[in-house]
């Protein structure tokens, strides 16, 4: 994801949907924030790199949290007859 984001202008980036606040999001956010803080402390990043990092992380969070659960996928397959 990082490599894709680096080459996009901010105006070319896809808008990310708002996520519903729930316990899963909060836990995931805390973990991601911890890792992000470590990266920022270790590396001397410019503002563009920081912006790219934040966008890449939020994109991955959005994709992960919006992914249907295995149970939902199975139920969908059963209801559609596949």
Predicted pLDDT at 25: 85
Structure tokens at 12: 């070319």
Q: Within the chain, which residues score under 70 in pLDDT?
A: 1-4, 6-7, 43, 68-78, 80-82
The closest alpha carbon to 13, from 22, 26, 4, 21, belongs to 4
pTM of the model: 0.64
Predicted pLDDT at 70: 63
Count of residues in the chain: 82
Helix spans in the chain (H): 2-6, 23-42, 47-66, 70-80
Domain boundary assignment for the chain: 35-82
Predicted pLDDT at 73: 62
CA 73 to chain centre: 21
């Amino acid at each position: 994801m990082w490599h894709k984001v680096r080459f996009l202008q901010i105006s070319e980036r896809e808008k990310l949907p708002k996520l519903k606040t729930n316990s899963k999001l909060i836990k995931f956010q805390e973990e991601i924030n911890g890792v992000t803080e470590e990266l920022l402390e270790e590396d001397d990043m410019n503002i563009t790199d920081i912006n790219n990092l934040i966008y890449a992380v939020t994109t991955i969070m959005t994709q992960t949290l919006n992914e249907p659960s295995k149970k939902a996928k199975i139920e969908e397959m059963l209801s559609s007859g596949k």
